[in-house]
């Protein structure tokens, strides 16, 4: 006799310890096996794009902080570049250097959260706290300069909100020296942990063509084995002046494009960010960071699209100007939103425990997914 079986629907989220915010995943499961995943978005929708239309150009900057709240400086950066492109202004050298250093510090801080929560989702809680301990150094460096620890509102159109604190160079150098051995510690504690490798290697394999078809970017794309980084391939600001590598997934512990590769790309990217900071920190020229800030931002009619490599991938702003002081339309290409789309593909046929590992390795921020 054939028994009639029925799959079970399990709602993971919006309140769940490992959905990294208010994401709801509708899992169709048979025992522990996941048959289908439907992500439900929109719990954190704040109408950013519509809000931006009612704001003057410079007033939008604080709102961009709240997109990817773990990498606020990257969001400011992207927006500032886009409006500067629209205005056709050039910012002073000092501003460029500080922007790059800040963005790279922010990238490390953001990856620390990503790696830590990826590990915490798999039960390794100690590396999570170690990473947060080290993140504290970055936050205090940024806090000293601009007064905020999370939503910085630091990079303005045409300049910066504050010049860096006098201690900035010293403290950043100190951090770079401090943090290098900590990456080794992380590798020993988590990256090469046998259980961690068992949990992440050969799990959630994202083939390169699928990644490209879905428009994935950032570590999610690079984990699939391609060296694509906007800092190198579409250089903005002054990234073309520095020497750094682009880590990519090589399938060291399993197949190219598995969770471990995505995780490991982030670890190695932190090293490269330190390298960029090391090169940039000695070259900061003197100057006034506010000299190029326009008094009134009224760009000519037209459109501009600029993209930056945020910790989570390609962050693009598309701005239409109708010649007023308010943008006519702001469209954000949010990397987390696009990367999240591969989740369904990756989770099918895996176990419930793997969904957590895969979600952690894609590393989404719901503030950016829902905007």
Partner 1 sequence: MYQYLYDLTGSGILSAFIVASFPLVNVLIVVVVGVYLERKVSAHMQDRLGPMRTGWHGSLQLIADFIKLLQKEDISSKDTDKFLFNLAPVLVFTAAFAAYATIPFSSKLIGSEAEVGIFYIIAISGIVVVSILMAGWSANNKYSLLGAMRSVAQIISYEIPTALVVLSIVMLTGTLSLGKMSEMQTAYFWNWNILGGAGFGFTKFLLIPFMVVGFIIIYISTLAETNRTPFDIPEAESELVAGYFTEYCGMKYAMFMLSEYGNMFAVSAIISILFFGGYQSPFGYFGNSLNAHWMIPYEQAFWFLLKSWIFILVQMWLRWTLPRLRVDQLMTVCWKYLIPYAILNLIIIGIISLL
- End-to-end alpha carbon distance in the chain: 52
Q: Which is nearer to partner 1, 17 or 302 (CB)?
A: 17
261, 251 Cβ separation under 8 angstroms: yes
CA separation, residue 156 to residues 90, 166, 203, 291, 321 (Å): 13, 20, 41, 12, 18
Q: Which of these ranges, 37-45, 193-201, 207-215, 333-341, lies near partner 1 under the rule CB under 8 A?
A: 193-201
Q: Mark the segment that binds partner 1 (CB under 8 A) among 178-186, 195-203, 246-254, 309-317.
A: 195-203
Q: Which of residues 14-43 bind partner 1 (CB under 8 A)?
A: 16-18, 31-32
CB of 193 to partner 1, least distance (A): 6
Our finding on whether 258 is near partner 1 (CB under 8 A) is no
Q: Residues 150, 154, 157, 163: what is their CA dihedral angle, to the nearest 10 degrees?
A: -170
Q: How far apart are CA 224 and CA 22, in angstroms?
A: 27
Interface of this chain with partner 1, residues 126 to 145, rule: CB under 8 A? 126, 129-130, 133
Chosen residue from 50, 125, 150, 227 binding partner 1 by CB under 8 A? 125
Cβ proximity to partner 1: between 129 and 150 the closer is 129
Minimum CB–partner distance for residue 321 and partner 1 (Å)? 45
* CB of 21 vs partner 1, minimal distance in Å: 14
Number of residues that bind partner 1 (CB under 8 A): 31
> Maximum distance among all alpha carbons in the chain?
83
User: Which range touches partner 1 (CB under 8 A), out of 75-83, 146-154, 218-226, 350-358?
Assistant: 350-358
Nearest approach, Cβ of 284 to partner 1 (angstroms)?
A: 32
Structure tokens at 310: 């945020």
State how far the alpha carbon of 306 is from the alpha carbons of 128, 193, 235, 316, 327, in Å. Answer: 34, 40, 11, 6, 15
Residue 203: DSSP 8-state: S
The dihedral formed by the CA atoms of 46, 52, 57 and 58, expressed in degrees to the nearest 10: -20
Indicate which single residue of 193, 210, 279, 325 sits in contact with partner 1 (rule: CB under 8 A): 193
**Considering beta carbons, is residue 297 or 356 the nearer one to partner 1?**
356
CB atoms closer than 10 angstroms to residue 282: 9
Which residues, in sequence order, are CB contacts of 213 under 8 Å at separation 6+? none
The residue ranges that bind partner 1 (CB under 8 A) are 8, 10, 16-18, 31-32, 119-126, 129-130, 133, 189-190, 193, 195-196, 198-199, 351-356
């Amino acid at each position: 006799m054939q028994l009639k079986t029925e799959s079970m629907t399990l709602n993971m989220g919006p309140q769940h310890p490992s959905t990294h915010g208010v994401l709801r995943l509708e899992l169709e499961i048979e025992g522990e096996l996941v048959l289908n995943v439907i992500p439900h978005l929109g719990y954190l929708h704040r109408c950013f794009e519509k809000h931006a239309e009612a704001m003057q150009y410079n007033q939008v900057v604080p709102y961009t902080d709240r997109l990817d709240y773990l990498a606020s400086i990257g969001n400011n950066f992207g927006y500032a570049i886009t409006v500067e492109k629209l205005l056709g202004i050039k910012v002073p050298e000092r501003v460029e250097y500080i922007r790059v250093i800040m963005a790279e510090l922010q990238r490390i801080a953001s990856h620390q959260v990503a790696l830590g929560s990826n590990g915490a989702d798999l039960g390794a809680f100690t590396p999570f706290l170690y990473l947060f301990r080290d993140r504290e150094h970055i936050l205090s460096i940024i806090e000293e300069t601009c007064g905020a620890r999370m939503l910085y509102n630091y990079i303005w159109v045409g300049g910066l909100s504050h010049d860096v604190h006098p201690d900035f160079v010293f403290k950043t150098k100190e951090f770079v020296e401090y943090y290098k051995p900590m990456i080794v510690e992380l590798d020993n504690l988590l990256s090469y942990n046998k259980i961690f490798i068992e949990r992440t290697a050969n799990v959630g394999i994202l083939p390169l063509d699928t990644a490209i078809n879905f428009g994935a970017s950032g570590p999610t794309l690079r984990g699939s084995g391609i060296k694509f980084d906007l800092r190198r391939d579409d250089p903005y600001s002054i990234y073309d002046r520095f020497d750094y590598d682009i880590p990519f997934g090589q399938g060291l512990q399993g197949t190219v494009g598995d969770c471990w590769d995505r995780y490991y790309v982030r670890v190695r990217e932190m090293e490269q960010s330190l390298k960029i900071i090391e090169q940039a920190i000695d070259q900061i020229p003197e100057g006034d960071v506010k000299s190029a800030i326009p008094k009134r931002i009224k760009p000519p009619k037209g459109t501009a699209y600029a993209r930056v490599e945020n910790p989570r991938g390609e962050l693009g702003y598309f701005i239409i100007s109708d010649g007023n002081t308010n943008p006519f339309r702001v469209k954000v290409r949010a990397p987390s939103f696009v990367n999240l789309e591969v989740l369904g593909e990756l989770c099918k046929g895996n176990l419930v425990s793997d969904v957590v590992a895969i979600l952690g390795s894609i590393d989404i921020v719901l503030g950016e997914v829902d905007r």
